[in-house]
């Protein structure tokens, strides 16, 4: 009898999980900035001002993983108004934490940051995400989140249809002026942090017509019924611990980070950005 009662209680608990999702009315509304005046990115990337309705974009293929990281770091460090970031995977490793750190520094200088992550791969990130969201200029949302943070797999028993629908989008947009999109998630294997990694992927860095399309698509996902405020989902978290992780107090991690930064500064794209010599390809583009 006791076993039967325990099973019934567990079933009742699992069946109520989906009802724990917070009301979407608690979210704030926001859209991408239409920045019309010249911005720092225009100078750094030598962005050409062309009509947004002509379908032309300037693109630079990011075949090299170190260039792919350098491009993201350049967008963050050059942004003056906004960063809209959307990813399926963002790992808590050297590259992931370095980009988190740069994002936090951007928010400190007044940049508005909107970070939308698919919740399928955020295990172990709750403290960091709450620490980021605690900044007044940063808002974090989770796509189709898991209500049970520790025992996530249990959610599939009662909410399979929702939790099985994941967001694989990957876009990285600064000031509605430049964007990166393609195959790379955020993680050490995507940016060749360690020399023993054999991994291939492809992104593009783009300016021009396609950027506003990416920004509008980000707005659509940001306002969707599947995107929930991280603070409304993560009910237990340690913000001070998350802030500590952002600061790289661990000496081993800090040294690894410094070595990787030196590697990035030797990449061809980093030098092209420093010398204002990016070789853009002007092409007709359409976001699919």
Instruction: State the distance between the two ends of the chain, measured CA to CA, in whole angstroms.
Output: 57
d(CA 33, CA 19): 34
- State if pTM tops 0.75: yes
3-class secondary-structure state, position 3 = helix
Q: Please list, in sequence order, all residues whose beta carbon lies within 8 angstroms of the beta carbon of residue 111, skipping any fewer than 6 positions away.
A: 79, 80, 81, 82, 83, 137
Extract the tokens encoding 262: 């030196």
- Per residue in 147-178, pLDDT (tens digit) is 888 888 788 788 888 888 999 999 999 999 99
| CA proximity to 123, closest of 94, 148, 95 | 148
Extract the tokens encoding 112: 């508005």
Domain architecture of the chain: domains with CATH: 57-284 (3.30.870.10)
163 burial class (0-12, 13-18, 19+ CB within 10 angstroms)? buried
CB 188 within 8 A of CB 213: no
- Per residue in 96-120, pLDDT (tens digit) is 998 999 999 999 999 999 999 999 9
């Amino acid at each position: 009898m006791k076993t039967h009662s325990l099973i019934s209680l567990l079933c009742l608990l699992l069946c109520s999980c989906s009802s724990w999702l917070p009301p979407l009315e608690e979210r704030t509304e926001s859209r991408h900035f239409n920045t019309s005046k010249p911005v720092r990115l225009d100078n750094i990337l030598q962005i050409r001002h062309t009509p947004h309705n002509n379908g032309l974009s300037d693109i630079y293929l990011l075949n090299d993983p170190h260039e792919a990281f350098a491009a993201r770091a350049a967008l963050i460090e050059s942004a003056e108004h906004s960063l809209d970031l959307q990813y399926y995977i963002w790992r808590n490793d050297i590259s992931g934490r370095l980009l988190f750190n740069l994002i936090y520094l951007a928010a400190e200088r007044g940049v508005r940051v909107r970070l939308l992550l698919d919740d399928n791969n955020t295990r172990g990130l709750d403290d960091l995400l709450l620490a980021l969201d605690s900044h007044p200029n940063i808002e974090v949302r989770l796509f189709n989140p898991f209500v049970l943070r520790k025992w996530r797999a249990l959610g599939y028993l009662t909410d399979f249809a929702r939790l099985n629908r994941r967001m694989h989008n990957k876009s990285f947009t600064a000031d509605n002026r430049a964007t990166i999109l393609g195959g790379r998630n955020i993680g050490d294997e995507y940016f060749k942090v360690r020399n023993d990694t054999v991994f291939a992927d492809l992104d593009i860095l783009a300016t021009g017509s396609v950027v506003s399309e990416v920004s509008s698509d980000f707005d659509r996902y940001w306002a969707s019924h599947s995107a929930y405020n991280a603070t409304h989902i993560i009910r237990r978290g340690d913000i001070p611990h998350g802030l500590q992780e952002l600061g790289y107090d661990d000496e081993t991690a800090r040294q690894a980070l410094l070595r990787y930064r030196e590697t990035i500064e030797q990449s061809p794209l980093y030098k092209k950005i420093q010398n204002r010599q990016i070789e853009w390809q002007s092409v007709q583009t359409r976001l699919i």
